Amino acid sequence: MNQTSNQAARTINVGNRLTIETITDFAQQIRTGFNEADAVVVAFEPEIEIDVTALQVFCAACKTAAAEGKRFAYSGPQPQALRDLVAATGSERHKQCLVNSSACFRRSQGE
């Protein structure tokens, strides 16, 4: 996982695997990002292996962003593996998140 940042946003490139074996590093990068920037943006590889632990971290990051007045988003297209996981776990949002005034994990502005 690679990171780039400026004062406004930190981008985390997650590589091709975001699973229980790699989630600790990813979560730490999100925490660091929120400490250093107003937004954390996740950049996915098109072919990524992803598991349910990533969904849990995305939800926690979204709640943290809302509580701190920051933004948590993704850039580029959402990978099919993530869409499949969301559908398989029943995690689709049919109404707004209770802690966030918009969609939980949304595309970065400007895309």
Dump pLDDT digits (tens) for 71-111.
898 888 888 998 888 888 876 655 556 665 555 555 565 55
The pLDDT value given to residue 59? 87
Q: Is the pLDDT of residue 32 over 70?
A: yes
Q: What is the CATH number of the domain that holds 94?
A: 3.30.750.24
Q: Could you give the CA distance from residue 55 to residue 49 in angstroms, rounded to a whole number? A: 13
Residue (of 27, 20, 24) closest to 42 by Cα position = 27
Q: Which residues contact 70 (CB under 8 A, 6 or more apart)?
A: 34, 37, 38, 39, 40, 64
37-46 pLDDT, tens per residue?
999 999 999 8
Q: How confident is the model at residue 11 (pLDDT cuts 50, 70, 90)?
A: very high
User: Which structural domain, as residue segments, surrounds residue 43?
Assistant: 2-107
Say how many domains are in the chain: 1
44-76 pLDDT, tens per residue?
998 999 999 998 999 899 889 988 999 898 888
For tokens 């998140």, the residue is 97
- Which run of H or E residues covers position 51? none
The pLDDT value given to residue 19? 95
DSSP percent split of the chain into helix, strand, coil, nearest 5:
35, 25, 40
